[in-house]
Amino acid sequence: MDIARIEAIPSVKPRVFLEDMGCQMNRLDSEIVLGKLHQAGFQRVETTDDADVVLYYTCSVREHAEDKVFGRLGSLKRLKALRPELVIGVMGCMAQNHKERIFERAPHVDLVCGTSRFEDVVDLLEEVRHGERVLAVDRRELKFDRDISVRPRRFQAFITAMRGCNKYCTFCIVPYTQGRERSRPVSELLDEARRLVDDGVVEITLLGQRIDTYGQDQRDGTNLALLLHRIHEEVPGLLRINFITSHPNFMTDELAATIADHDRISRYLHLPVQSGSERTLKAMNRGYSVDEYRAAVARMRARVPDLAIATDWIVGFPGETEDDFAASVALQRELGFHGSFVFKYSPRAGTRAAELEDDVPRATKEARNQVLLAEQSAMSLAQHTARIGLDLEVLVEGPSKRNAERSMGRTRWNEIVCFPAREEAVGRMLRIRIERTTALTLHGQPI
Ligand code: SAH
Ligand code: F3S
C-alpha cells in the first residue's frame, strides 16, 4: 500500500474536475457521476490544476473524442509527476472500449470505469485512495438511483429510457460498449419524470440508442408510444417531451398517432439514415432499404405533416463510390430533412467494418461532408424562411451564445430562435414573431 498517497489526499471536500465528451447518454451518465460525488462531499472545480481527482467521461462512437482524451492524458503527465496523489480516471464508453489498454497507453491513469460501473464511482475512488489502480469494466445491473438535482440546466433534463443496442450496424461500437438493449420499467420512468418536475424541470429528453425499440425486451406489450402517452398524461408539469434516437424500422402508425395527438410531445424526430445507397446500407447492416426508409418517413408525415425529421449521415464508409454518395445527396434533397449530422467514417476496432479497408481518402470524406452540409444549409434556410411572419411558441433556454443581449429558445421542431433578452422567461414558453432568419437560427420579437 502506498502510504504517502493516502495521506496526501485531503479527507475533506476533495475537489473533482470532470470533462465529458460525446453523446447525450455519456453526458447524462457524467451528470449522474457528479451527483454521486456531490453526495459524497466532493466539490466540483473548473481546472485540472485545482483538482484532486480528474475524470474524463467519454463516448467512443468516433475516433475524435478518444484521441482528444489521450491528448489530455498526455498533458496531465507533468501534473501527476508533480503531484503523485492526483487521481486520474477515464470513464464511459471509451473506458469500456479500451479497458486495460488505457493503462498501457497512459500508465499514470488510476481508474478505468466502464458503462456498467459508473454508479459505483465513490467506492471505486476509495479503492484508488488505498493505493490501487482500479479497472471496473465488468457488466452489472445499473441501479438508476440518480441524484436528480445535479444537472446543467434547472428546467431541462435527460432521462435514460433504455440502454444498449442489439442492432450491430457494422460501423458502430455502441453495442460493444453499451451491451444488450435493456428498457427501464414505465413506472420507474414516470417516477423519475415526476421528481424532476417537482425540482423545476419542464422539458425532458428520453434517451435510448434505438429509443423506438423501447419495451421490446420486456415482452409485456410496452412500447415507446405507450410510454410517451403515459408521461404526457401523468406528468402534466412538462411543457415538452423529446425522445432520441430512432431507428427507421420501428416507425409505427401508433407512434405517429401518439405524436400527433399529444400536444406537448415535440414534433422532432431524429431518424438516422446513414446513406442513400442501397449497397452501402447493406454493408452497414442497417436493416432497411432506401425504399423502406422512404416509407418510414412517409408513414410518420402522413399522420404528423409538420414533423421535423433530422438525420445522420456517414460519408466515406469503406467502398463508398461517387455513385453511392450521389445517391445520398439525392435522398437528402428528396426527403427535405430539417437537420443533417454528417460524420466522416472512422474505423472502430472490434466492429465488422473495421475489417474492411478504410479506402476513401480523407480529402474525399471531407469534401463529401461539405457537400451534405451545404445542401442541408440551403434546405434549412428555405424551411426557416417559410417561418417568417409566423408567431411561434418558443421554450426559452437562456442567453444566446453569440450575443449576451439576446436570449435563445427552441420551437417544438427543435429550431433555435433568438430574440431580445428575456432572462426572467427561462424555462417558460414565449410567443415569438419571426422576423428574419439564417440557415441556423430564427430571429424575432416576443409578442
Ligand atoms: N443510435 C445511436 C447512434 C449512436 S452513434 C444514437 O443514439 O444516436 C451516432 C452517430 O454516429 C450514428 O448515427 C452515425 O451516423 C455516427 N457513427 C457511428 N459510428 C461511426 C463511425 N465508426 N464513424 C463515423 N460515424 C459514426
Ligand atoms: Fe449503433 Fe446501429 Fe445501434 S448505429 S447504436 S448499432 S442502431
For the chain, domain boundaries: 3-136, 156-385, 391-446
Report the 10 Å Cβ neighbour count for 355. 11
Q: What DSSP character marks residue 153?
A: S
As to burial, measured by CB atoms within 10 angstroms (0-12 exposed, 13-18 middle, 19+ buried), residue 248 is buried
Minimum-distance ligand to the CA of 342?
A: 1
Identify the CATH class of 391-446: mainly beta
The pLDDT score that the predictor gives to residue 321 is 98
Mean pLDDT per block of 10 residues along the chain (447 residues) reads 48 88 92 96 96 96 92 96 96 97 97 97 95 94 91 94 97 96 97 97 98 94 97 98 98 98 98 98 98 98 98 98 98 98 97 98 98 98 98 97 94 98 96 97 97
Q: Which ligand lies nearest to the CA atom of residue 311 in the structure?
A: 1
Measured in degrees and rounded to the nearest 5, phi and psi for residue 283 equal -65, -25
- In terms of Cα–Cα distance, which of 289, 239, 245 is closest to 262? 239
Exposure of 291 in the CB half-sphere (CA atoms within 13 A): 0
What's the confidence (pLDDT) of residue 219? 85
> Which ligand is in closest contact with the Cα of 286?
2
Fold (topology level) of 3-136? Rossmann fold (3.40.50)
pTM here is: 0.95
Cα separation of the two ends of the chain: 67
Handedness of CA 121, 189, 235, 428 (dihedral sign): positive
CA-wise closest residue to 372 among 437, 288, 413, 312: 312
Q: What is the 317 CA–ligand 1 centroid distance (Å)?
A: 12
154 vs 140: CA distance, rounded Å: 30
Nearest ligand to the CA of 245 is: 1
- Beta-strand runs (E) in 141-261: 156-160, 162-163, 182-183, 203-207, 240-244
Say yes or no: CB of residue 338 within 6 Å of ligand 2.
no
Does residue 312 have its Cβ closer than 6 Å to ligand 1?
Answer: yes
- What pLDDT score was predicted for residue 3? 46
pLDDT at 33: 97
Which atom of ligand 2 is the closest one to the Cα of 285? 2
Instruction: Give the number of other Cβ atoms within 10 Å of residue 222's Cβ.
Output: 17
From residue 192, alpha-carbon distances to 24, 142, 195, 313, 432 in Å are: 17, 15, 5, 33, 31
Choose the residue to mutate in 24, 25, 59, 61 for probing ligand 1, maximizing ligand atoms within 8 Å of C-beta: 61
pLDDT for the residue 6: 47
Given the CA of residue 165, which atom of ligand 1 is nearest to it? 1
Q: Which of 177, 14, 39 is nearest to 95 (CA)?
A: 177
Kindly state the cell numbers that stand for 268.
422532432
CA–centroid distance, residue 233 to ligand 2 (Å): 30
Which strands make up the sheet holding 203-207, listed edge to edge?
156-160, 203-207, 240-244
* Topology, domain 156-385: pyruvate-formate lyase- activating enzyme (3.80.30)
Question: What is the full DSSP assignment across 376-427?
Answer: HHHHHHHHHHTTTT-EEEEEEEEE-SS-TTEEEEE-TT--EEEEE--GGGTT
Distance CA 116, CA 120 (A): 9
Report whether residue 346 contacts ligand 1, using a CB cutoff of 6 Å.
yes
Name the closest-CA residue to atom 19, ligand 1: 172
Please identify, by atom number, the ligand 1 atom nearest to the C-alpha of residue 346: 23
CA of 209 to the centre of ligand 1 (A): 10
